[in-house]
Amino acid sequence: MNMPSSPPSLHTLKAVTRDDFPQTFAWGVATASFQIEGAARSDGRGPSIWDTFCAQPGNIADGSNGDVACNHYHLYQQDLDIMQRLGVEAYRFSMAWPRIQPDGVGAFNPKGLDFYERIIDGALARGIKPYATLFHWDLPQALQDGGGWNNRDVCQRFADYAHEVARRFGDRLSAIATHNEPWVMAFLGHEQGIFAPGIKSRKIAVQVAHHLLLSHGMALDAMRATGTRAQLGIVLNQSPIYPDTTAEADIDRARHDDGMIVRWYMDALLKGEYPADILDDLADAAPVVLPGDMAVIARPIDFIGINYYTRQLASAQGPYNPKERGLPVTDMDWEIYPLGITELLLRLHRDYKLPALYITENGAAFRDELVAGQVDDRDRVRYLQEHIAAVQLAIAQGVDVRGYFVWSLLDNFEWASGYAKRFGIVYVDYATQTRHPKRSAEWYRSFLVRG
Ligand code: FCB
């Protein structure tokens, strides 16, 4: 298995300050369009697959949707001001494709483009570098009606959209990521069906996984053609995956899961091939790959963004619940395992010739309560401190990590969990749309301004 040669122990995690990181390290916060913007029908935005998915009873835990969310579409100035006050230097946000191109094809919507122009210029005016993501899961519904990501033609639609964004904003964006977590989009959206578009077919999911990567490569070509100097890359969910026990079946399960989540993406992007053992495992569900596809997928990239939340233990018995095992968990019931970030980064560094890395998401949901205008989220402060220390440990061992983005600036619409799970360092009182920076926001500010 891909265990790091000498796993660091928890005792090696010392508290760090930002002086322990490279001078140019980017410190930021992250959000995504559908989760915060609201204004779902304003200014010409077309419907997205998440609007459709939310409208079907039973899909979202609290029956909610993205119609209002954090009303960031109207309150963005205030949210940028909060970032500036916290001393944040980089802002990772996503653009809603259906706001920019309502049907996913044809005419671009000037009002949608203007909104992102205001975000970009507003961030820059506050000394904050904008990092855009083109696709954080809100596909125009019109494209889904034509087969969505299972239809190869959507790759060209995506490249056209990417071209327009790079042409318009490529002079001001620090970075443009094509996709956010294509594994999640493909498999939670098309195999498990618990995310939009709610399809349940392994074969479709695998084909979608291929088309997402293909569209990434095509979008890179389209964006490079504009001459943009923005760094271009992709954001992946990644975890170290270990066998739960030494039983052979668990070891094989870990190989498979690691192959689907880590090697599928890293091998394709950095070596131009899919892992042979996984193609074997998939058998009839293996994707249709046309000649030339893998070369497009493996176009040189400037960075890979890593979203890290937890590790995974693979068991032939199926998924396990870390809480039942007495492991520390967040409100998502995800195990709190800071050293997983170090282990993952060291393993990737060992196995691949990597471009620059960013931690594009890391954070936690806890049961925050607003008491007299304050949220005392000590658990989140500790989570962030430990994970930042774990990133530093990897950098100290030679991994080229260039930035870290807290997920998330604001409490927001947490997909199938709705609004009940709060990931923000800023509390959102949804009844009034007031923002209350939590203790973790104040901690991040003191970390960033050096104290
Ligand atoms: C990631 C998503 C992000 C957020 C966090 C908690 O998978 O990219 O939008 O929901 O999980």
Q: Say if ligand 1 is within 6 A of residue 423 CB.
A: yes
CA distance 318 to 88: 40
Burial (0-12, 13-18, 19+ Cβ within 10 Å), 162: buried
Interval between CA 35 and ligand 1 midpoint (Å): 9
* From 37, 191, 361, 386, the catalytic residue: 361
By the 8 A CB rule, do 189 and 138 touch?
no
Three-class DSSP labels, 364-401: CCCCCCCECCECCCHHHHHHHHHHHHHHHHHHHCCCCE
Question: Angle between the 72-86 and 110-125 helix axes, to the nearest 10 degrees?
Answer: 20
Question: Angle between the 110-125 and 153-169 helix axes, to the nearest 10 degrees?
Answer: 50
C-alpha dihedral sign at 351, 353, 359, 361: negative
- To test ligand 1's pocket by mutation, which of 307, 360, 366, 410 has the most ligand atoms within 8 angstroms of CB? 307
Looking up tokens 């997909």, which residue turns up? 415
Residue 178 forms part of a structural domain: yes
Cis peptide leading into residue 94 (ω within 30°)? no
The residue segments making up the domain with residue 148 are 18-448
In sequence order, what are the beta bridge partners of 130? Answer: 91
Phi first, then psi: give them for residue 135, nearest 5 degrees.
Answer: -140, 105
C-alpha dihedral sign at 61, 307, 51, 40: positive
Q: What is the pLDDT of residues 47-100, one digit of tens each?
A: 999 999 999 999 999 999 999 999 999 999 999 999 999 999 999 999 999 999
Atom of ligand 1 nearest to the CA of 235: 8
Q: Say if ligand 1 is within 6 A of residue 414 CB.
A: yes
Residue 1 forms part of a structural domain: no
CA distances from 317 to 58, 145, 247, 313, 337 (A): 27, 37, 11, 11, 22
Residue 351 forms part of a structural domain: yes
Looking up tokens 């970009």, which residue turns up? 120
In sequence order, what are the beta bridge partners of 359? Answer: 306, 404
Q: Say if ligand 1 is within 6 A of residue 361 CB.
A: yes
Burial (0-12, 13-18, 19+ Cβ within 10 Å), 412: buried
Which amino acid is present at 13? L
Residue whose CA is at the smallest distance from ligand 1 atom 10: 414
Question: Does 181 qualify as catalytic in the annotation?
Answer: yes
User: Following DSSP, what letter does each residue of 16-79 receive, concatenated?
Assistant: --GGGS-TT-EEEEE--HHHH---TTGGGPPPBHHHHHHHSTTSSTTS--SSSTT-HHHHHHHH
By the 8 A CB rule, do 268 and 214 touch?
no
**pLDDT tens for the 451 residues of the chain, in order:** 444 444 455 556 778 999 999 999 999 999 999 999 999 999 999 999 999 999 999 999 999 999 999 999 999 999 999 999 999 999 999 999 999 999 999 999 999 999 999 999 999 999 999 999 999 999 999 999 999 999 999 999 999 999 999 999 999 999 999 999 999 999 999 999 999 999 999 999 999 999 999 999 999 999 999 999 999 999 999 999 999 999 999 999 999 999 999 999 999 999 999 999 999 999 999 999 999 999 999 999 999 999 999 999 999 999 989 999 999 999 999 999 999 999 999 999 999 999 999 999 999 999 999 999 999 999 999 999 999 999 999 999 999 999 999 999 999 999 999 999 999 999 999 999 999 999 999 999 999 996 4
pLDDT, position 2:
43
Candidates 450, 446, 426; CA nearest to 81 is 426
Q: What's 66's domain CATH number?
A: 3.20.20.80
Atom of ligand 1 nearest to the CA of 237: 7
Atom of ligand 1 nearest to the CA of 423: 6
Residue 413 forms part of a structural domain: yes
* Structure tokens that stand for 29 in this block: 């916060």
Candidates 40, 309, 421, 47; CA nearest to 197 is 47
By the 8 A CB rule, do 342 and 392 touch?
no
pLDDT, position 15:
84
Atom of ligand 1 nearest to the CA of 415: 10
Residue whose CA is at the smallest distance from ligand 1 atom 4: 414
Burial (0-12, 13-18, 19+ Cβ within 10 Å), 167: middle
Interval between CA 359 and ligand 1 midpoint (Å): 13
Interval between CA 413 and ligand 1 midpoint (Å): 10
Per-residue DSSP letter, 330: -
Residue 4 forms part of a structural domain: no
Please give the tally of structural domains in the chain.
1
Residue 112 forms part of a structural domain: yes
* Structure tokens that stand for 404 in this block: 């870290």
CA distance 109 to 129: 24
Residue 10 forms part of a structural domain: no
Q: Say if ligand 1 is within 6 A of residue 307 CB.
A: yes
Q: Say if ligand 1 is within 6 A of residue 358 CB.
A: no
Interval between CA 292 and ligand 1 midpoint (Å): 32
Atom of ligand 1 nearest to the CA of 35: 9
Q: What is the pLDDT of residues 132-172, one digit of tens each?
A: 999 999 999 999 999 999 999 999 999 999 999 999 999 99
Residue 12 forms part of a structural domain: no
Task: Give SS3 for 448.
Answer: helix
* From 37, 89, 181, 343, the catalytic residue: 181
Interval between CA 257 and ligand 1 midpoint (Å): 19
By the 8 A CB rule, do 340 and 308 touch?
yes
Question: Does 361 qualify as catalytic in the annotation?
Answer: yes
By the 8 A CB rule, do 155 and 218 touch?
yes
- Given phi > 0 = left and psi -120 to 50 = alpha, else beta, which region is 418? left
* Structure tokens that stand for 250 in this block: 């668990």
Cβ neighbours of residue 207 under 8 Å, at least 6 residues apart?
150, 287, 288
Q: Say if ligand 1 is within 6 A of residue 415 CB.
A: yes
Interval between CA 423 and ligand 1 midpoint (Å): 9
Interval between CA 92 and ligand 1 midpoint (Å): 13
